[in-house]
Amino acid sequence: MIKRTGIYKQAKQICSPYFNERPVGLEVSLLVIHCISLPEGVYGGKQIEQLFTGCLDCHEHQSFSDLQGLEVSAHCVIRRDGLVEQYVPFDHRAWHAGVSSFDGVEACNDYSIGIELEGTDKSAYTQGQYLALAELSQQLISYYPKLTKQRIIGHSGIAPGRKNDPGYLFDWAHYLALLD
């Protein structure tokens, strides 16, 4: 289900310009779960795609003003209905983690895959999102030998004090049980 080129066959493919090569010798070994909605709490629009492709009109909503000039991406976004959109191939480095550290190793973008759930850090996620996330996670764990259930974390876990996602309503127990 994951091609050698890092493409997830079940995903809608949308190309972000915001990625680059991973450092030589580093293997994918971390999965980071994020959340995003633009504007916050508004779902189903084109704004996430526009942000990740560099086309967001930052004058469209007052909350977008701090996004002006931001170059950010994730490997995938999982919409509320469970649709998976892929913006960056998994074998490339997406720009999702920012200043980050996991297990004493900084620069998590270098060795991680970033998955955004359409939502907020204060909202519950849908069953469709959990099912799609679990299916994608299982495929990634099968494809990348250093990626394990123990190496799946929220953005808040690699950027404490700076990020809260996926939020306190993300049901880790439910999600991890789906991986068994």
**pLDDT band with cut points at 50, 70 and 90 for residue 180:** confident
pLDDT at 138: 98
pLDDT surpassing 90 at residue 97: yes
Q: In CATH, which of 3.30.460.80, 3.30.70.2080, 1.20.1440.230, 3.40.80.10 is domain 12-178?
A: 3.40.80.10
Q: How do the domains of the chain map onto residue ranges?
A: 12-178
pLDDT surpassing 90 at residue 116: yes
Q: Phi first, then psi: what are they for 73, rounded to 5°?
A: -155, 170
Q: Which single residue is written with the structure tokens 């994608």?
A: 136
85, 116, 118, 135: the catalytic one is 116
**Other beta carbons within 10 Å of 164:** 16
pLDDT tens for each residue of 3-55: 989 999 999 999 999 999 999 999 999 999 999 999 999 999 999 999 999 99
HEC per residue, the chain:
CECCCCCECCCEECCCCCEEECCCCCCCCEEEEEEECCCCCCCCCCHHHHHHCCCCCCCCCHHHHHHCCCCCCCCEEECCCCCEEECCCCCEEECCCCCCEECCEECHHHCEEEEEEECCCCCCCCHHHHHHHHHHHHHHHHHCCCCCHHHEEEHHHHCCCCCCCCCCCCCHHHHHHHCC
pLDDT at 61: 96
Calculate mean pLDDT across residues 59-87: 97
Calculate mean pLDDT across residues 127-142: 98
User: Is 85 a catalytic site residue?
Assistant: no
pLDDT at 1: 86
Calculate mean pLDDT across residues 116-144: 97
Calculate the CA dihedral of residues 86, 87, 88, 90 and round it to 10 degrees: -20
